[in-house]
Amino acid sequence: MVTYIRTDSTRVSVDAQNKALAYIEATYGKDYVPAKPNFYKSKKSAQDAHEAIRPIDINRTPDKVKKLLDAKHYKLYKLIYDRFVASQMADAKYDNVVVNIESGEYGLRASGKVPMFAGYTVVYGNTVSEEEDSKILPDCKEGDSLTLKDILSEQKFTKPPVRYTDSTLVKTMEDKGIGRPSTYASILGVLSGRKYVKKEGKNIVPNEIAYQMTDILVKFFPEIMDIGFTASMEDKLDDIENGGKDWKMLIGEFYPPFATQLIKASRDGDELTDIPCEKCGQFMVRRTGKFGKYLACSNYPSCSNMRSENIVLSQEKCEKCGAFMAIKNGKYGEFLACSNYPKCSNIRSTNEEKSDQKCEKCGEFLLLKNGKFGKYLSCSKCKTTKSLVEVQLVGVCPICKKPTKKMKSKGGKDFYGCSDFPNCKFMSLDEPTGENCPKCGKPLVYDKNRNIKCSAKDCAYSPIGQEEK
């Protein structure tokens, strides 16, 4: 319904402009058609590969398409349509008026304007802002007598600049040559996604981390934080695109000093501790990151070890990588986790014991562990597990004819399941007989009185001459 939505070009094709002028004359009259077609100069940084954003068909008015769109898309289309039509119309005309008022020995003056021709504002229903409305003076002529209605006194204070909104921030970036239309949304997303700012109504309000981050950036990267840096860099990138600059030379000039400052900035505020690094023995430094304080090796970049400040290291070493195991608390109690996480994700329980049983698969000794449903055996090598609860085999599975197991659920209730699970997923609260119902084909089971019944609730099958056992 509209042309390419991500361009900031103001160029309009001759064909689209001629159709718009014909529509304006037919709808509003010849007076609203400009003497010569309006032409708007695009900015130097505009992406001019596409036309300006406009309706595909000027005759496809917002009223005609309203029933085809949801509320948000309708408002957006109406905004684009009205702006395009208004941009091709004649200017509005006003008379600038100054009224001198004599009141005894005092002189008063009011300046404003009187509308003479609505021009393009007719598209918006002749609506004006509150600020513009205050500048429109009533019709008056020399010699008119005025009546004093009221005297208003107002004390004025110097006000701080108003806070940015999404739209005013984008407008400022546009004026400063920062970013492109395709990047404005992602910039706003980063500001809110990383919690640099919060919203109070429409206003963007910085959080404390924004001030801290700005102080660090200004301290270590004054050239980059200069308002003209981004615009200058984008000009250089345009030069590369146009073949006038070698990108390797540009990166070679920029990156080495930037990398040096980056290391300095990363160490700003480091607090040296007496905690030795478990990898190289150098002392750790305390730093503040996105998720709070953490410890990092002072021997960086030779040693990149880092860990949470709250981790308590045990004397046991990880059997996979040799790093010390950290003592942690989880959902099921205390456990050991490798301090080399995320490079090594090895974990094990703190209360496991070596049993006298061996794994049936690999021959290693099984470890006695505590789990969600109590104690169990687990192989330290191949992770094969074995329950300590002796399973009672009862009856035959009516589906695959394998033995069924009598087990207890998490709530302590008895239930029956096929011993060939997960290949066969038969399960029942009642003991199966091993046969199927002749009426519906569902498994037959014993009830609490050992009578045979169908497991299907809507099946009333009962064997003839059945006696209670």
pLDDT at position 124 is 87
With a pLDDT cut of 90, the percent of the chain lying above it is: 25
- Among candidate residues 372, 371, 377, the one with its CA nearest the CA of residue 353: 377
User: Same domain, yes or no, for 209 and 230?
Assistant: yes
6 occurs within a structural domain: no
Compute the residue count for the chain.
Answer: 469
We report the CATH number of the domain holding residue 228 as 1.10.460.10
Is residue 80 a contact partner of residue 2, using CB atoms and an 8 Å limit? yes
149 occurs within a structural domain: no
Residue 4 is among the residues annotated as catalytic for this protein = yes
We report the CATH number of the domain holding residue 52 as 1.10.290.10
**Domain boundary residue, one of 291, 324, 349:** 349
Domain that holds residue 361: 353-387
Is residue 442 a contact partner of residue 455, using CB atoms and an 8 Å limit? yes
User: Same domain, yes or no, for 227 and 280?
Assistant: no
| pTM of this structure | 0.47
3 occurs within a structural domain: no
User: Same domain, yes or no, for 247 and 189?
Assistant: yes
Burial class (CB in 10 A: 0-12, 13-18, 19+), 428: middle
Is residue 324 a contact partner of residue 318, using CB atoms and an 8 Å limit? yes
Is residue 127 a contact partner of residue 167, using CB atoms and an 8 Å limit? no
pLDDT at position 468 is 42
Q: Tokens 């070679």 belong to which residue? A: 252
User: Same domain, yes or no, for 31 and 101?
Assistant: no
**Domain boundary residue, one of 87, 114, 145:** 87
User: Same domain, yes or no, for 26 and 80?
Assistant: yes
Report the domain count for the chain. 6
User: Same domain, yes or no, for 251 and 179?
Assistant: yes
9 occurs within a structural domain: no
447 occurs within a structural domain: yes
140 occurs within a structural domain: no
User: Same domain, yes or no, for 331 and 361?
Assistant: no
User: Same domain, yes or no, for 345 and 291?
Assistant: yes
Please compute the mean of the pLDDT values over residues 54-70 and round it to a whole number: 93
Q: What is the amino acid identity at position 257?
A: P
Q: Over 60: is that where the pLDDT of 374 sits? A: no
Q: Over 70: is that where the pLDDT of 375 sits? A: no
222 occurs within a structural domain: yes
316 occurs within a structural domain: yes
Catalogue the E-assigned strands of 104-262.
106-117, 197-200, 203-206
Over residues 7-25, the pLDDT tens digits come to: 888 999 999 999 999 999 9
Burial class (CB in 10 A: 0-12, 13-18, 19+), 91: exposed
Question: Which is more confidently placed, 369 or 291?
Answer: 369
**Domain boundary residue, one of 255, 285, 316:** 255
Which of 4, 40, 211, 255 is flagged as catalytic? 4
Please compute the mean of the pLDDT values over residues 68-94 and round it to a whole number: 94
pLDDT at position 469 is 37
Please compute the mean of the pLDDT values over residues 104-114 and round it to a whole number: 86
